[in-house]
Amino acid sequence: MTRAISLQDVSKTYTRGRRVVDRLSLDIEPGEFLVLLGPSGCGKSTVLRMIAGLEEITDGQLLLDGEYANDLLPAERDMAMVFQNFALYPNMTSRGNIGFPLRVENPAADPRPRVDATARMLGIEDLLDRFPSQLSGGERQRVAMGRAIARHPSAFLMDEPLSNLDAKLRNHLRAEIAKLTRDLGVTTVYVTHDQSEAMSLGDRVAVLRGGVLQQVDTPRSVYALPRNVFVAAFIGTPRINLLRGVVRAPLDGAMTVSLGKQFLRLPEPLSLDHQLLRVQQGREVIVGLRSEAVRIAKPASARPGEVALTGLVEHVEFQGHEILVHFDTGSRPAVVPDLEAARPVGRPDRRRRREGGHTVLDRIKERAGSLRAGPVAVLDDPPQAGPEPAAPDGRLPGDLVVRTTPDIQLRHGMQVPLLVDLAHLFIFDQHGERISPAPARLPDLEA
């Protein structure tokens, strides 16, 4: 039996009135693997604990298989939870630990068959007679999974179950969890702040920021069509390049997006998506380019839909199978609150008072840090009428990261031609909402 979990306008307020989960609506299908993804403190665990019944729902409804479930006791919900700090009973063997919930549920029944079957499924038959202190971290986590599975719950709730493990083991267990939950076909809600984990596990990924749902969609869609700059920046490595631009229509009529001293000339006739930019003329926007949207090549070799830029090599990151080249294109990066080096949230920022010795970037970051529940992007100053001035404190290096093959020889200080694939150009407005590609496809004008 697997179940549908539905959250309807669910909010959570702890003591001092701050909503840590804000009107969250989410329908999770029976058998679905849904990942709750977001930065630390965005409310992921709180959501999971409300589903489990460990935390009261302040407002809104939880439905399990369509039935109102806000007031059900945790035990009545028939769900199994796996935590980051999987607490196994130290005085029980693996067998004892896995069998424990079975014995609680039905003291008369012999837990052995279920425990053995579960251990076989997880490949831990050899570990059944050991105590937790005799197991490695990964083995312990497998036993903890066993304890959750043995009961045949109708849903799994997993809260960063892999984050205490080293990278190799994490990848290994990640694949195991994916296989296991697929085989069992049990609805799973999985919490993580690791986007690559979310992308590789989820049927769908729900991105949370400051207790507010930003987007819920398949991994492919959140990557390809992020609703706003926060989702765009949270998902994908290397992080999407976010540059501050201005939409312009110079005298010859061609629409451009200027990036500092350079610009992207949008091909005529304008695509439907680019036509939408008309209303942004003269305004600052955020240009989003994933590292695969830009390639190192001369303008003469441009394909249709590609436009030229140049970049100054700042730094070359060798990664073995590829290299990441950090270019200075003379543009300024946009800052996304909650993603930049985390300043503790809610603490008054004493530094903000004395801005004198700070760079522009510092100031942008400081503002970003204070805008937790505000817009998803921060543009520091009002739109520029004339050409964009250079940043007063000099360059902000490495504003554009491009991924390329390792055979290419690049050195710091080289000026390199780049081609931007406009099919992969994102434009976000000043509040960080995506305006191009269009949020929803426009009805076909010719139809």
Binding partner selected for residue 91 from Mg ion, ligand ATP, none, CB under the kind-specific 5 to 8 Å limit: none
Of the candidate spans 37-45, 87-95, 226-234, 254-262, the one that interacts with Mg ion by CB under 5 A turns out to be: 37-45
Using CA atoms, how far apart are residues 401 and 398, in angstroms rounded to an integer? 7
User: Is residue 161 involved in binding ligand ATP (CB under 6 A)?
Assistant: no
362 phi/psi in degrees, rounded to 5:
-55, -45
Q: Which is nearer to ligand ATP, 38 or 96 (CB)?
A: 38
User: Of 20, 72, 92, 361, which one interacts with ligand ATP (CB under 6 A)?
Assistant: 20
Of the candidate spans 41-49, 110-118, 312-320, 399-407, the one that interacts with ligand ATP by CB under 6 A turns out to be: 41-49
Binding partner selected for residue 209 from ligand ATP, Mg ion, none, CB under the kind-specific 5 to 8 Å limit: none
CB atoms within 10 A of CB 157: 27
Of the candidate spans 42-50, 161-169, 177-185, 401-409, the one that interacts with Mg ion by CB under 5 A turns out to be: 42-50
Task: Count the residues of the shown chain that bind ligand ATP, applying the rule CB under 6 A.
Answer: 12
Q: Which is nearer to ligand ATP, 43 or 53 (CB)?
A: 43
Q: Which is nearer to ligand ATP, 21 or 294 (CB)?
A: 21
User: Is residue 77 involved in binding ligand ATP (CB under 6 A)?
Assistant: no
Residues 82-101 that bind ligand ATP (CB under 6 A): none
User: Is residue 43 involved in binding ligand ATP (CB under 6 A)?
Assistant: yes
Q: Which is nearer to Mg ion, 45 or 215 (CB)?
A: 45
Distances (CA, A) of 242 to 40, 59, 189, 296: 22, 36, 31, 18
Q: Which is nearer to ligand ATP, 83 or 131 (CB)?
A: 83
Q: How far is the CB of 163 from ligand ATP (least distance, A)?
A: 9
Using CA atoms, how far apart are residues 204 and 221, in angstroms rounded to an integer? 9
- C-alpha of 353 from chain center: 32
Distances (CA, A) of 352 to 23, 303, 337: 32, 47, 16
Site mask for Mg ion (CB under 5 A), range 44-63, x = bound: -x------------------
Using CA atoms, how far apart are residues 218 and 198, in angstroms rounded to an integer? 10
CB 264 within 8 A of CB 223: no
User: Is residue 209 involved in binding ligand ATP (CB under 6 A)?
Assistant: no
Using CA atoms, how far apart are residues 331 and 379, in angstroms rounded to an integer? 13
Binding partner selected for residue 332 from Mg ion, ligand ATP, none, CB under the kind-specific 5 to 8 Å limit: none
Using CA atoms, how far apart are residues 397 and 391, in angstroms rounded to an integer? 11
In the DSSP assignment, the letter for residue 270 is P
Three-state DSSP class for residue 190? strand
User: Is residue 192 involved in binding Mg ion (CB under 5 A)?
Assistant: no
Using CA atoms, how far apart are residues 367 and 374, in angstroms rounded to an integer? 11
Q: How far is the CB of 90 from ligand ATP (least distance, A)?
A: 24
Using CA atoms, how far apart are residues 132 and 91, in angstroms rounded to an integer? 8
User: Of 7, 26, 41, 207, which one interacts with ligand ATP (CB under 6 A)?
Assistant: 41
Residue 209: exposure state from Cβ atoms within 10 A (0-12, 13-18, ≥19): buried
Which helix (H) or strand (E) segment holds residue 241: the answer is: strand 241-248
Residues 327-346 that bind ligand ATP (CB under 6 A): none
Q: Which residues bind Mg ion (CB under 5 A)?
A: 45
- Chain residues that interact with ligand ATP, rule: CB under 6 A: 14-15, 20, 38, 40-46, 193
